[in-house]
A and B are shown apart, each in its own frame.
Chain A
Amino acid sequence: MGTSVQVKPLCGVYNENPLAYLVSVDGFNFLVDCGWNDHFDTSLLEPLSRVAPTVDAVLLSHSDTLHLGALPYAMKKLGLSAPVFATEPVYRLGLLTMYDQYLSRKQVSEFDLFTLDDIDSAFQNITRLTYSQNYHISGKGEGIVIAPHVAGHLLGGTVWKITKDGEDVIYAVDFNHRKERHLNGTVLESFVRPAVLITDAYNALNNQPSRRQRDQEFLDAIMKTLRADGNVLLPVDTAGRVLELILILEQFWEQHKLAYPIFFLTYVSSSTIDYVKSFLEWMSDSIAKSFEHTRDNAFLLRHVKLLINKSDLESVPDGPKVVLASMGSLEAGFSHDIFVEWVSDTKNLILFSERGQFGTLARMLQADPPPKAVKVTMSKRVPLVGEELAAYEEEQNRIKKEEALKASLIKEEESKASLRTELPVNDQMVLDANNTHSSSNAIGQRSEAFRDVLIDGFLPPSTSVAPMFPFYDCSSEWDDFGEVINPDDYVTKDVNMDQMLMPVDGDLAGKLDEGSVSLILDTTPSKVVSTELTVQVKCSLIYMDFEGRSDGRSIKSILAHVAPLKLVLVHGSAEATEHLKQHCLQHVCPHVYAPQIEETIDVTSDLCAYKVQLSEKLMSNVLFKKLGEYEIAWIDAEVGKTENGMLSLLPLSSPAPPHKTVLVGDIKMADFKQFLASKGVQVEFAGGALRCGEYVTLRKVGDASQKGGSAAIQQIILEGPLTEEYYKIREYLYSQFYAP
């Protein structure tokens, strides 16, 4: 029997919500993708929370929020603890994307779903694979092999192939067959007839203009605005499609020697480009080739300036400029702020390069016609001043106090049995514990100073005989130079600071840009102030498809080529999903599924298979005929058993039973025409048939290309009067086939 395969969508079916699907292969649960949207809507994760603890492995396909955004949260809160697999760029750029998301969110709200540490700890256990690396899963999933393959949408983007016993389950969402500036096209088409293909219907209804035309329109729109003294804002993702846009702009600026400044503004822009520079192996052949020849790294940017701080942008002299800023949804991040500033000036242009997520500001603006005015929330983190600061400090003090009290209580309890002389030592420890606590907060230090005074002394130390006020012997040692200073104390503190500074992944500390570091370290009490305002949308708004996904037409032809035995459709509007489902039912394969959320579908192949050994005796009698990359032969064999109980095929002892003749081969009329012509036969196409010589006609009915893939047996009709020519042509025709 075939391998049992079940698919259960957890998020992102019949809509454009983030992607998360559970794929079970013989009881081994893969969570493929673990996405979240830019709103960080926890309700979307409910289905995931129900299955998270049962997941055995997580496969990530792309580095954007929609594909991996929920990973830190799921690891921290939902009990997801499985090993994670991704390519190196997905790991790196995914990490940066999450940093950017967090920092953008933190700037405008009391974001508490996850912290930077959660991001780090979720990412540090990712096993990094290279393209077409076969990774053999051990333990529970013994026998399963996973391999990432080029998807073409984002740098490092992955089509996952899960193989067990020769049966392939392929997960391919957001693939792009077109070769781009920085990426190669997907290799999805090289997989033929997988048992199950899981793909998306996101673009099923979209068709794209040619790349050249689109690029030209894109640059024209930007140049028009710049020449009219306007600014251009491109809301982009953190480290995904923006790379392609940067290359387009770089190249154009280089060719035309333009002086308009371009800025790439995210919290992690400089690290992004630094890392991208070292990912040449993952990029297109042309980039690799140009590096080999000239050692010019395509991402050594000459025109695009990297900014990590909005104040840097403000310090740039006025004048037309292009800004690429995250987030693409305009919900948060620098793009949001810049949008509010620029939206009411008619000269400016806001150019969307991707469809906004559903329900975001970007999506609203992409509506046709665009809204005249939109309501936006301007949020700002401001340091606390005056009364608020005092209140905050009081609150902090109270917390410290409680903590200290608790700590001392615990300590005292512990010291119950111990001698009174140990108290000072204990006290030291209490202090230490307190110290580490407060080091996370700058003002903690002060509360510590108050500590002794503030402790209310109505709790008797349990070791005392009679009730008494707590009294700690401050036994600091003195020498000739004053209090003895133990340098170690200070060293430890430094280390503490360092640890806090440095997220788990060591090398990131240096990579975090100053701005973000200041944000992490900025522990001055602050609050978020929000103001709602309505802005007039006066600037021009353009949407151009730079999403780097195959369009509807290509998806259909790729699916027809891949021709899976069973097809599962996910991610895409209800309309698109339904459309693609109907199309595929007709043209691709009879088993097309589009499950609802949390609906488990069984796509176990009904394929029967068993293994046999081919005995040497049998094989020595087999004559193979080569057909393309295949070799075929007809065998008649008797089943036997080998010593170790395997079935084996032996030659027949009696004459083989006759079998029906099969003609194997794929005949293309045009090719055959040329072949005949080369043999000196007059041929021409006439009325859908091939006229060979004077009287003989050759027709093909049920043409393979019309029926979508190799779904039908070819029917060829050869007609003609009894002539020598007839037999000659028949012979030629037979020569095109192999009849075992």
Chain B
Amino acid sequence: MASTGQSLTSLKKREATTANNRDGDQLIITPLGAGNEVGRSCVYMSYKGKTVLFDCGIHPAYSGMAALPYFDEIDPSTIDVLLITHFHLDHAASLPYFLEKTTFKGRVFMTHATKAIYKLLLSDYVKVSKVSVEDMLFTEQDINNSMERIEVIDFHQTLEVNGIRFWCYTAGHVLGAAMFMVDIAGVRVLYTGDYSREEDRHLRAAELPQFSPDICIIESTYGVQLHQPRHIREKRFTDAIHSTVSQGGRVLIPAFALGRAQELLLILEEYWSNHRELENVPIYYASPLAKRCMAVYQTYINSMNERIRSQYANSNPFEFKHISPLKSIENFNDVGPSVVMASPGGLQSGLSRQLFDRWCSDKRNACVIPGYVVEGTPAKTIINEPKEVTLTNGLTAPLNMQVHYISFSAHADYAQTSTFLKELMPPNIILVHGEANEMGRLKQKLVSLFADRNTKIITPKNCQSVEMYFTSEKMAKTIGKLAEKVPEVGETVSGLLVKKGFTYQIMAPDDLRVFSQLSTANVTQRITIPYSGAFAVIKHRLKQIYESVESSTDEESGVPTLRVHGQVTVKQESENHISLHWTADPISDMVSDSIVALVLNANREMSKVVVESEPVVSEEEDARKAEKIVHALLVSLFGDVKFGENGKLVISVDGNIAHLDKQSGDVESENEGLKERVRMAFQRIRSAVRPIPLSA
């Protein structure tokens, strides 16, 4: 009976797993942020029960909870791995919140340089936002705690967590920026983060991955725009600054403290050393943070390009001669022309805003915006050169200063994106990190570019899931004794299927310890039962029940023993005890249980030793009994079971009808699913009802 119960549950479970498997082939990608917007990058991905989150940023134009990605869309506790591409706030700043204030318990990875700068940057962010924002997302302490949980990954290093394999490539955007390639059960997803395919003064260009991914999640910040060549941009930049300062004006460069600012400083430093006449014009870099980060820049030169590494060999290129640090606006002696680079880049608050308020109404002055500006920030507003601007104190002032917009932000432009995708050839492209319009235009252009290739290009909005199906073939490797000869079609293979991560191996049980860290065990059991009767009685009774009862004598003690069913040894230990001895397995356990019952019974009925005539049970009666049981079991499983023609059973479930031939086990049904189920159920019932074969 026990086995029927088992087959029942396993049937149920099987249905559950079938459903699961179908789910398992579904790959879901959901942007929780940066879907049709720039800022708060956060992309959720799940496949085969494994979940990866890429980036964890905030939206720089919002504050407090509103700046977070839509974390409430997901269950943070299910995420296995969180991968951070680079240290910019819109990619990493909600990490302390996510680690400390949610149920997330997975692992976090970023590159060495990113981790080192991340801490400095976020501590600074906390300090700066204390001034302007009340509802803090996290504190300095949260950042320090998060440092403990962040693990590092080096470029190209392959790691595996919980069956998810991943590694990263150079992305070129800022120091330590990475593109992550994730491989789950053979399906590869590339997440570029912010990337640039152009080598600059200190960074390498983004690498082209060796393998083509199945899905490429790519940034679309610049959409279909094309960058001017680098040297032209540099010339415009230096010219704008040069002409302003030579006319006695002041230049404000609102820049994000880290990343592109270092590139601009390298440009300015070089320009100043080549132009002696500018020697008296001071350049200030108003970021104590950047000063602190210099050690990081000086250390991770191996993440930079050959150019800077060869310079480093002689002297540190990040030790500037013409640029001096500026602590705060109080320390700033504002007389005569000067160049000040100050953060934040969006002019929301802080020093760059203070200087802007002070300088904006003088037409000799200039503001050079050197990078991408996020929608909703004051910097974005002034690019359109309005007549008036609102100052931080609420007053309006005329905007007379010149505003230059020269982009140095290391994001890929259309030329880079299209060549990158053309070489990579991903069958699915998901665009994120771009304003809806830019993204739409890019999508149009890419669609026409890949028109002949059936490439899917998707631009999901925040929280809009992209679902894809990948039917990955499960391949197993049969090894060891089982594989001594490759089987022909039609032969059977029986063995242990061992799954580790997403690799399957089939092996004989004996080989388990050879090829895995698992081991097998044998449990030998010995049980003693009080029995004071004659041993022969037991022997006789056992013979009535079991086909095979061999008697012999124990070699050591000379006591008589019986071997029942080839597995259980019954031994007369003493006058009053017998012992059973067997190696545990379900059948032997059952046999031993029956022997125990028999012995106990024999104890009770000791007095009357009667030889009863064995009732002859005809084959026919046996078969009838079996049939009854089979029928009963089938009813319990399928409900409506009727006797049909030719000894067939008619089973109807939800209008589907199956005909079961009890003799052969053949099932006929229109419905494949039902047919399969009935066949399986009947097989199991039959194996339960039939006598246990001797050879097991």
Contacts and interface: CB of A to CB of B under 8 A. Distances in A.
Interface of A: 88, 129-134, 136, 147, 166, 192-193, 277-281, 288, 291-293, 295, 297, 506-511, 565, 607-614, 616, 619-624, 627-641, 647, 649, 652, 654-667, 704, 710-722, 726, 730, 733-734, 737, 739-740
30 contacts: A132-B157, A133-B167, A278-B299, A288-B152, A293-B119, A297-B295, A297-B299, A506-B310, A507-B313, A510-B313, A510-B314, A613-B473, A616-B471, A616-B474, A621-B680, A636-B494, A638-B490, A638-B493, A652-B492, A656-B494, A657-B492, A661-B586, A664-B496, A666-B521, A710-B517, A718-B525, A720-B528, A721-B530, A722-B529, A734-B584
Contacts of B501: 629
Contacts of B489: 639-641, 647
B483 to A, nearest CB: 4
Interface in B560-590: 584-587
B498 A632 contact: yes
B477 A193 contact: no
B520 interface: yes
Contact of B480 (A131, A133, A293, A608): A608
Contact of B478 (A612, A623, A658): A612
A613 B500 CA distance: 16
A667 B503 CA distance: 25
Contacts of A292: 115-116, 119, 147
Contacts of B479: 607-609
A721 B299 contact: no
B536 interface: no
A719 B156 CA distance: 56
Contacts of A638: 490-493
Contacts of B477: 166, 609-612
Nearest to B154: A130
A737 B509 CA distance: 14
Contacts of A637: 492-494
Given A130-B157, A288-B112, A715 B299 contact: no
A652 B514 CA distance: 27
Contacts of A718: 523-526, 584
Ranked nearest first, the 5 interchain pairs of A and B with the lowest CB-CB distance are A661-B585, A507-B310, A133-B156, A507-B313, A662-B509
Interface in B288-328: 292, 295-296, 298-302, 306, 309-310, 312-314
B14 interface: yes
Nearest to A92: B302
B516 interface: yes
Q: Main SS of chain B's interface residues? A: mixed
A573 to B, nearest CB: 32
A297 to B, nearest CB: 6
A692 to B, nearest CB: 13
A649 B476 contact: yes
A295 B584 contact: no
Given A292-B116, A638-B490, A733-B523, A612 B155 contact: no
A644 B123 CA distance: 58
Nearest to B481: A608
Given A288-B112, A734-B584, 13 more contacts: A130-B154, A193-B516, A281-B152, A281-B302, A297-B295, A610-B486, A613-B474, A634-B495, A634-B496, A639-B488, A655-B687, A664-B509, A718-B524
B517 to A, nearest CB: 6
Nearest to A89: B302
A510 B313 CA distance: 6
Contacts of A649: 476, 493
Contacts of B112: 280-281, 288
A674 B299 CA distance: 50
Contacts of B486: 610, 647
Nearest to B148: A289
Contacts of A635: 493-497, 506
B315 to A, nearest CB: 8
Contacts of A660: 509, 585, 696
A620 B514 CA distance: 28
B155 to A, nearest CB: 6
Contacts of A622: 17, 497
A623 B10 contact: yes
Contact of B518 (A166, A291, A293, A666): A666
Contacts of A608: 479-480, 483-485
B492 A636 contact: yes
